[in-house]
Amino acid sequence: MIRMIFLFVYRLAWVLFLPLLLIYLFKRGRRDALYSQNLLERFAVYNRPMPQDAIWVHGVSLGETRSALALIRMILDRGDNVIITNFTPAGRREAQRHFAAEIGSGQLAVIWVPLDMMWSYHRFFRACQPKIGLTLEVEVWPAMISAAKRAGCPLYMCNGQYGTKPLKRDSRGLRIRQRVMRDLTGVFVKSNLQASRFVEVGVQNVHVTGELRFDQPIPEHQLDAAIQLRTDQMGELDNIIAIASGIEGEEDLFVKLIKDVRERALNDGTRAPLFVYVPRAPERFGNVAEKLKQAGLNTVLRSDALDKDLSAKQEALDSSTAVLLGDSLGEMYFYLNLADRVIVGGGYCEVGAHNIIEPLSLRKPVLVGPHVWTIEYPFVEAQAAGIVEIVEHGAALAEKVVEPIEDFRSRIDLFLEEHSGASQRTLDAIDSVLAARAGV
C-alpha cells in the first residue's frame, strides 16, 4: 500500500514539475547546446529505428559511461547490439566518441534516457525491446524499474554500491527508496560489503562482479602527450601536483593551498611546484580561472597553451606559471600523467570524493579529503594497501604535497592486479541471466 501511494504521488509530481524540468534543460542548453537538442528522445520519440535485441546500458553522465567502456566493447566485439542512454551531454559525447563506427553501422545507438514517466518508458521499451538493462552505479528510478518489469526486461543495477550515508538515510522512515529498489531484477555489485548491504534491504539476485573502472581503457596518446609536454617545457620541475575533479565547494581551499605552497617555497628559497587544476564541472572553468588570477597566481589555460592534439602552442609554461588549468573534457589521463601526485576532489565536501582508480591506474600516489563514503570501495582496500591517504585540508595538506614521494609502484601493481577483471565477470553474469531466462 505504501509503495502504491508513493508511486501515485510520484507520477503526479512529474505532471506538475515537468515544465520546470524542461525550463531547466533549455537553460542548460544556453551553456551546452546538446542539452536542448534531440529533446523528443527524452520522451522516447525517435527519428530512426533502434537496434533490436540489444543490451541496454544506462550511464547518467561521463563517469558512469567511462566506467562501462570496456564492458560495452566486449559486448560489441562478440556481435551483440547495444543501446546507451545518458542524461548529460558529457556522457553522450563520450559514448559517441568511443563508438562512432558502431553507431554508423547501426550496431549501437546513443540516446537520451527517457524522463522517468511510465508512458515515456512504455514507448522506450516498444521501440527498443532490449533483452536486458544495466543501470550503472546507484540509479534508482521508479518508473524505469516498474516499466522494465512490465515489459519483461530484466533490469540490473550494474557496478552497484550502497554507500554508508545513503544506506543510513534510506533506512529511516518509510524506506521508500529501498522498497523501489527491491523491484530491480538484481544487482551486480563492486564488493562483498556492498552485496551484504543490498541483501540486507531485501534486494534479490545480488552478484559480486567487481569495479568496472579497473578495466577502463587508457588513451595512450594522452599519456604520450603528457610525457612530451613535461619533457619539452617542464623538465626542471620535480614536483607537479594534480587537483583532479575539484568541485565548487572546494575551490577556495584549493586556491589557498596553491598560494600557501608557493609562498612557503618563496620564503624557503626552493622551487615551487606546478599545480594542474582540473575542475569537475565545465561550467566552473571560468570561475576557477578567475579565482586563481584574483589570488595573484599566474594561471595558464589548457585551451590557450595547447593545441587540439595536446602539443604546446608556444613556450606558454615557464618558471612563473603557478597553475595549468584543465579547461577541457575527456583528457583527465593527460592531466594525471603530467603529475607526480594527485589530490582527488570531492572529499573536502560532504558530497564525497570522486574516482581514485584513474590516478592509481597510472601509478600515482593519491590524497583525498575525509569524506570518502562515495568511494568506500575501493578506498578501504587502497588505504589498507598503503597507496591512498586521507589528508585534512589546510596546513596538513600544504605540508603533505611537498614531501618526498615514496616509491610504491609495486604495491599499486599488486592492487590493480587483484581488482581487475570486473568487465568479464559482469559479462559472464549477464550471460547467466539471459541463459536462465531462455531456459538453457
* Per-residue model confidence as pLDDT tens digits over 311-370: 888 766 777 899 999 999 889 999 999 999 999 999 999 999 999 999 999 999 999 999
Q: Are residues 393 and 430 in the same domain?
A: no
Q: What is the pLDDT of residue 425?
A: 98
Q: Is residue 3 part of a domain?
A: no
Q: Which three cell numbers stand for residue 328?
A: 577541457
> Model's pTM, two decimal places?
0.89
Q: Is residue 430 part of a domain?
A: yes
Q: Is residue 6 part of a domain?
A: no
pLDDT digits (tens, 9 = 90+) for 58-106: 999 988 999 999 999 999 999 999 999 999 998 999 999 999 999 999 9
Q: Are residues 265 and 381 in the same domain?
A: yes
Q: State the CATH number of the domain containing residue 64.
A: 3.40.50.11720
pLDDT digits (tens, 9 = 90+) for 211-248: 999 999 999 999 999 999 988 887 777 899 999 999 99
Q: Angle at which helices 192-200 and 376-384 pack, to 10 degrees? A: 140
Number of structural domains the chain divides into = 2
Q: Are residues 157 and 40 in the same domain?
A: yes
229: domain range? 220-419
pLDDT digits (tens, 9 = 90+) for 255-312: 999 999 999 998 998 889 999 999 998 889 999 999 999 999 999 999 999 999 998 8
Q: Are residues 402 and 429 in the same domain?
A: no
Which among 294, 283, 314, 365 has a CA at the least distance from the CA of 31? 283
Q: Please answer whether residues 138 and 162 qualify as being in contact, where contact means their C-beta atoms are separated by less than 8 angstroms.
A: yes
Q: Are residues 376 and 425 in the same domain?
A: no
